[in-house]
Amino acid sequence: MAASLWKAWPTSLSFVVHGFIKCPVRTARSDVFRRSVRIITPEEQEKLLLKKQGYIVDDGPNTESHIDIADHGASQKKTKIKNDKNINFSKQTKAETQLLKYEKLQEGDKRFGTLVNNAKSKKLRQKNQQILLEGERLISDALLAGAKCRSIYFTSRFDPNKLPLDPSSQIPVYKVKYKHMQLWSDVSTPPGIMAIFQMPAMGEAVIPQTQTIPLTLICDNIQDSGNMGSLIRTAAAVGCTRILTTVGSVDVWEPKVLRSGCGSHFRIPIFNSIPWSQIPNYISSDAQLLLASASESILKFIAYSLQNDDVSPCVCNAEQDCLQEPFYI
């Protein structure tokens, strides 16, 4: 009889702690072990039920546990959690969870492609004074900096509610297909979010720096987008007064330069595509000139040009001394 009962005895039993946690308990079998159990009080069970039903439960700032010591023994006993009545029974609605309203662009709608193409073309970008930003971090930095956003485009792979955008703002938000964004994106795996912003004016910093150093960075004939973005990011980090780029350099408002700059474009005044004949207008006459280049001949040519009224191109090879004492860094 005992043997038959032992064979019929289950390998594990289950019990419910206040209707929430099921946990196996130790039985007569030696191969079954007890797991740790979290004890849920009736007050906690009530709050969990409210949360499961969609209510916001506020326990209050003074919620704490107290311990009473019995007079007849040294055992301690936990009492009820106080302030269990201070529960906020406000229920979330669908209107509160879906913050941003958007329009879904249908197949064949050319608004997205037209705006992105205009922002990528240098001529149209300068004409419309609009730039293209891609990626959550870059767009969030621009919004926090106070840049003027014209429109936002996202796909099903990105939640636009993660952006620091006021739902009451009048910025149009559009949902596009991911395959369409892949056609216009500069990265192999698009993040699923793009935005069109107003281009800051020449020499305008959206966030003016409170502390700057008397240093003007002149970028001459910088044609690599990544290098230009790194220079802008570094100049903004150290607190340069301004950045000047000469004619022939890559456009600082190109999407690749903006992505490499990581939002620094909005934190430092930038003067784009300045002819060499106008460079002295942005620099004081007693300023010290420091030249940095990988080519010594280019250093000598720039230094020679700045010391002459005529800044027309000239030929200078590395062996010819065009300048007596140039500054090298």
User: Domain containing 222: what range?
Assistant: 213-287
* Amino acid, res. 296: E
Rounded mean pLDDT of 93-107? Answer: 70
Residue 115 shares a structural domain with residue 182: yes
- Look at the block and give the residue holding tokens 């006021």: 166
Residue 307 in this model has a pLDDT that exceeds 70: no
Rounded mean pLDDT of 154-164? Answer: 92
Name the band, by pLDDT with cuts 50, 70 and 90, for residue 53: low
Name the band, by pLDDT with cuts 50, 70 and 90, for residue 183: very high
Kindly state the DSSP code that residue 276 receives in the 8-state scheme. G
Last residue of a domain, one of 165, 198, 231: 198
CA distance 266 to 233: 10
Put simply, whether the predicted model's pTM sits higher than 0.75 gets the answer no
Most confident of 21-35, 208-222, 227-241: 227-241
Asked if the structure places residue 224 within a domain, the reply is: yes
For residue 177, give the CATH number of its domain. 3.30.1330.30
Residue 301 in this model has a pLDDT that exceeds 60: yes
- The confidence score (pLDDT) of residue 169 equals 86
Residue 91 in this model has a pLDDT that exceeds 80: no
58-65, Cβ contacts within 8 angstroms, sequence gap of 24 or more: 58/86, 58/87, 58/88, 59/83, 59/86, 59/87, 60/86
Rounded mean pLDDT of 15-43? Answer: 52
Asked if the structure places residue 33 within a domain, the reply is: yes
- Say which residue, 77 or 137, is predicted with more confidence: 137
Sign of the CA dihedral running 97, 99, 105, 106: positive
CA distance 324 to 329: 16
Judge contact between 266 and 276, C-beta under 8 A: no
Kindly state the DSSP code that residue 266 receives in the 8-state scheme. G
- The confidence score (pLDDT) of residue 256 equals 93
Asked if the structure places residue 12 within a domain, the reply is: no
Rounded mean pLDDT of 106-135? Answer: 93
Residue 141 shares a structural domain with residue 84: no
- Taking alpha carbons only, the member of 132, 101, 105, 128 closest to residue 116 is 132
Judge contact between 160 and 102, C-beta under 8 A: yes
Residue 159 shares a structural domain with residue 236: no
Query: How many H helices and E strands in the chain?
Result: 10, 14
Residue 60 in this model has a pLDDT that exceeds 90: no
- Say which residue, 289 or 307, is predicted with more confidence: 289
Mean pLDDT computed over every residue of the chain: 74
The two tokens of residue 49 are 């039920």
Residue 172 shares a structural domain with residue 220: no
Asked if the structure places residue 314 within a domain, the reply is: no
- The confidence score (pLDDT) of residue 36 equals 58
Residue 54 shares a structural domain with residue 135: no
Asked if the structure places residue 34 within a domain, the reply is: yes
For residue 253, give the CATH number of its domain. 3.40.1280.10
Please, which residues bridge with residue 25 across strands?
A: 13
Residue 255 in this model has a pLDDT that exceeds 70: yes
- Count structural domains, the chain: 3
Judge contact between 59 and 48, C-beta under 8 A: no
